[in-house]
Amino acid sequence: MAIPTPPLVFFADLSVQVDKPQEVGRVARGRRRLIPILGGEAVGNGWRARVLPGGADFQLVVNDTLAELDARYVLETDAGDLIYVQNRAIRSGPPELMARLVRGEPVDPALIYFRCSPSFETTSASLGWINERMFVGAGERHRDKVVMRFFELG
């Protein structure tokens, strides 16, 4: 029996507005930073949502080529449903480009590996199926926002 390769099924495009980093400093495993989330939007097939302010991206800059990201925030759909998002990601690239990203300078997103694994929790009747699926995605970091595309593993 051959195990099928799961297809990627489009789930949503997100644009998440972020504030200036809060630099915690060097800790045991790297440089710890917290990036406050200010707002944004998500657009999926047949649904839209806004990113509620108050979430954050908890980052660990492991070394000069790798950052581990753990963003947690809430979406509110146009129907009024709430979706809790936890998005774990890695971002890697050449040291000089990663340093520019950390400083908030522009970098061509095509030169950075930014992949993520979001998970969702909701009580929404129409979107409840997302509680029971796995998702992957890719992203781009810009000066004041993060843009991502999420896919369901079909």
Whether residue 20 has pLDDT greater than 90: yes
What are 57-75's pLDDT values in tens digits? 999 999 999 999 999 999 9
Rounded distance between C-alpha atoms, residue 149 and residue 10, angstroms: 8
Domains and CATH numbers, the chain: 8-153 (2.40.160.20)
Give the 3-state secondary structure of 25-65.
Answer: EEECCEEEEEEEEEEEEEEECCEEEEECCCCEEEEEEEECC
pTM of the predicted structure, to 2 decimals: 0.94
Residue 94 has pLDDT above 90, yes or no: yes
